[in-house]
Amino acid sequence: MVIVPPSIDLAAVGPELILTGAASLLLLVGVFLKEQSRFLNPWIALLGVILAAGCASSSLFPHTTFQGMYAADLFTRFFKLLFLLGTGMTILISIKYTADEQIEHAEYYALLLFATIGMMLMAAASDLVTVFLGIETLSLSLYVLAGYTRTRLVSNEASLKYFLLGGFATGFLLYGIALIYGSTGHTNLAKIAYAVSHGNLNTGLLTIGALLLLVGLGFKVAAVPFHQWTPDVYQGAPIPVTAFMSAGPKAAVLAVMIRVFEQSIAFMNVDWTVWITILAILTMTVGNIAALVQSDAKRMLAFSSISHAGYAMVGMAAASREGSSAVLYYMLVYTFMNIGAFGILALVARQNEQRTAMRDFTGFAYKNPALAFIMTILVFSLAGIPPMAGFMAKFYIFMSAIKAGQNFLVLAAVLNSAIGIYYYLRFAIYMYMKEDEAPSTLPPLRASLGLILALVISLYGVIRLGVLPAEYLDFAGKALLTF
């Protein structure tokens, strides 16, 4: 009997292998060099990210490997580069923060890299088993990172709450996968699509499984009504971790949703756009209204991240390649502007995050005009004000929904955007139009080299993608051609 070896292409998982090597090196350095490693840790992690990005950028022939469980295509490449961008920026804004909080351990940066590996697996998943492996690799890392500042009670609470609710959501996800497998006999997305299109299945069982899968993914992307964990976890987690969680994991879940609901079970006699439209409207509305009444900047940005997940789902509700490419572009823009905004917040918050209220930005423009200008650009982009990239991202999302006949959804999105403008402009009001009533006795803020680099990258991305978006939209569109 001839034994056929499985199809394994290590080049396809090159970025994951590089990050695994960098994370393992960090752990070894942390053990053997101890105190000396504190300076090396972020730069080893950043070097791993840069090498992984170079590997991910290399040319490839779209194919599946690992017995059809892993897709190496342009869609995967786009998201890998997006995740590495977000991780690199998070590392840069973490350097000063971790030093101030005395948590500059090798494990912190290793966990960021392991979380990135999980996101890469999710984006490349062509099998529901791979989806589960990626989600759990990501989630287990984030459970620890959310409570990494162990001396802060709110951080411990965030970690425990995220762990308990995350485990509950994983049950929905697994049960949904089990029902889909029981209905179709497959976990491979292409084979599920074939079974669905040929009608050789238990439709009721498949529908319930798909709905449970949507619930599990809805929790991970913080869609309403599965968002209850988000504000408390985002507020309790260290600010760089909150920045990381608000961008990369959302993009990873959206990548999975695009593959599953637009490629695999799109042929079901169920209009999934109705369910996604309902989730999008609820997510935008609840996120924006809750953000409107917040006095804490960190909590406000946490609620606004929920609303941005809703905007991205508008593109999914369009159920078209144009809508999906707009989602890809939106998440790229969101990574630039959101991590940059959290980077400035991390600087303003100072040690132990004692100054995260909106009033702590009072007179910021007079003390730090350059940082205030960058923050203004970033929040204007988050609000969707032209010519920043946030406006173009929303424009393409809304246009794809209009072309799909989703006029009511677009109307709801536009009204929600108007609400968002109000609370984002509060940053500018506090920074430029209010002055401290009493002189501050705190030492002046000093941005680290890492934070400056991250802010320059954010500023470049927000302006470049806003003024000249065609190249990146074309890249997003091509990513879906091999999908």
| Burial grade of 263 (CB within 10 A; 0-12, 13-18, 19 or more) | middle
Residue 256, both tokens: 């999975």
- Domain range summary for the chain, segments of one domain joined by +: 271-483
Q: Which pLDDT value is given to residue 6?
A: 67
Q: Are 105 and 166 in contact (CB under 8 A)?
A: no
- Residue ranges in the chain modelled with pLDDT below 70: 1-2, 4, 6-7, 200, 265-271, 436-443, 481-483
Phi and psi at 127, nearest 5°, equal -145, 145
| Burial grade of 475 (CB within 10 A; 0-12, 13-18, 19 or more) | middle
Q: Which pLDDT value is given to residue 43?
A: 93
Residues 100-124: pLDDT tens digits? 888 888 999 999 999 999 999 999 9
Q: Are 469 and 325 in contact (CB under 8 A)?
A: no
Beta-strand relationship, 63-65 and 70-72: antiparallel
Q: pTM for the full model?
A: 0.94
Beta-carbon contacts of residue 387 (< 8 Å; ≥ 6 apart):
463, 466, 467
Q: Which pLDDT value is given to residue 280?
A: 92
